[in-house]
Amino acid sequence: MGFLDLHMHSLHSADGQYTPTQLMELCAGAGVQVAALADHNCVRGVAEAMEAARTYGIRVIPAVELDCEFEDTHIHLLGYGVRHTDPRYEVLTQEVMAEDWARGRALMENVRALGFRFGDAAVLALANQDIVVGEMLAEVILADPENEGDPRLAPYRPGGLRADNPYVNFYWDFCSPGKAAAPPPAARSMDFSAAMALITATGGIGVLAHPGITVGRNRDAIARMAAQGMAGVEVYSSYHSPGDISFFEEATRAAGLFATLGSDFHGKNKPSVRLGAVDCGGREEALLAALDARLPS
């Protein structure tokens, strides 16, 4: 287990499980000494995490993960060192939550139209701040006896090919953009340049999260993001194969960027993702030093 984990989520993300305080307790148990709480489009949990971290001697780096569009691809842009007290983030959070509430209801109807059986009350009982995401639907659907014989669900059950992270894999396969149950695109969608501008204006630096599951092995896209001010790439990720890591190490160097490491821990929605468990070949000290050199003083 490593001491560094720069990408994790609390229940201030709709798909997160733990409070910021509980998350810091888990970090302490996992041996994580430097952590970044990067909730989706939200910094509400950062102050609590920083306060709780003092009990365990953990350093918390303020962070956020912004959903945005780069050219034709939906990506996640991490902002490190942002001023988490800046009111612009609260405005953003409220706008996104309103949009996500409506899209969550549409998602429920789309998933039901595919023939999956679930009760609305069971889904809503899992919803953080009343926002429904695909992972919650998957949890309820997989537990409902009425779906027992559905062959489409076999990959997500124990022993199945998608059973490592069954809930989030159901989301990717049925609910993500372009899939059969995907809700309509958000009416308000931030583009990459606007996301970078917000991070920069609030004192932070931009880092591309888990590129292997967004832009893929696209060296030119990474270089174009760098030209717009992005500073780093999450090279070491729970989702990256050894081949991915080799590719992104080289692409990051070629673009003049620095590398970071993050698990993208959420809790039960991604049971195979563990805090501090991403392997970077013992480079944690060097990765942290590279980040610290760029963070605001």
> pLDDT tens digits, residue range 96-147?
999 999 999 999 999 999 999 999 999 999 998 899 999 999 999 999 999 9
Q: Are residues 211 and 236 in the same domain?
A: yes
Rounded to 5 degrees, what are φ and ψ at 79? Answer: -115, 115
What pLDDT does residue 297 have?
74
Q: Is residue 180 part of a domain?
A: no
Asked, for residue 185, whether it belongs to a domain, the answer is: no
d(CA 13, CA 43): 10
Q: Is residue 181 part of a domain?
A: no
User: In this structure, are 255 and 110 located in the same domain?
Assistant: no
What is the pLDDT, as a whole number, of residue 2?
86
As beta bridge partners, residue 61 has 36
Residue 223 and residue 282 in one domain: yes
Same domain, 13 and 144: no
How far is 35 from 62, CA to CA, in rounded Å? 9
Residues listed for the chain: 297
248 domain residue, yes or no: yes
Query: Looking at residue 89, what is its pLDDT?
Result: 98
The count of other CB atoms within 10 Å of the CB of residue 294 is: 14
Report how far residue 158's alpha carbon sits from residue 23's, in angstroms, rounded to the nearest whole number: 27
Claim to verify: residue 151 and residue 279 sit in the same structural domain: no
Asked, for residue 100, whether it belongs to a domain, the answer is no
pLDDT at 296 over 90: no
Query: Residue range 253-270: average pLDDT?
Result: 96
Query: Tokens for 163?
Result: 């059973």
Mean pLDDT for the stretch of residues 140-162: 97
Taking residues 42-65, report their average pLDDT. Answer: 98
Strand runs labelled E in the chain: 4-8, 34-37, 59-70, 73-80, 205-208, 232-237, 258-262
How many whole angstroms separate alpha carbon 5 and alpha carbon 268? 18
Which structural domain, as residue segments, surrounds residue 234? 4-94+190-292
pLDDT at 186: 78
Rounded CA separation 32/4 (Å): 6
Whether the predicted pLDDT of 265 surpasses 70: yes
Asked if residue 182 is part of any domain, the answer here is no
Angstrom distance (rounded) from CA 228 to CA 233: 14
The gap from C-alpha 253 to its chain's centroid, in whole angstroms, comes to 24
Are residue 238 and residue 109 in the same domain, yes or no? no
Predicted confidence band at 83 (pLDDT cuts at 50, 70, 90)?
very high
Same domain, 139 and 170: yes
Tell me, yes or no, whether 63 and 203 share the same domain.
Answer: yes
Same domain, 83 and 118: no
pLDDT of residue 177: 85
| One-letter-per-residue 3-state SS of 230-249 | CCEEEEEECCCCHHHHHHHH
Residues 7 and 213: their CA atoms lie apart, in Å, by 15
Do 146 and 286 sit in the same domain of this protein? no
Phi, psi of 262 (to 5 degrees): -160, 145
Q: Is residue 184 one of the residues assigned to a domain? A: no
Residue where one domain finishes, among candidates 130, 146, 175: 175
How far is Cα 122 from Cα 110, in angstroms, rounded to an integer?
17
What digits encode the pLDDT tens for the residues 179-235? 999 998 877 679 999 999 999 999 999 999 999 999 999 999 999 999 999 999 999
Residue at which a domain ends, from 175, 205, 236: 175
Instruction: Provide the pLDDT confidence category of residue 1 given band limits of 50, 70 and 90.
Output: low
Please check the confidence at residue 266 and state whether its pLDDT lies above 90.
yes
What total number of domains does the chain contain? 2
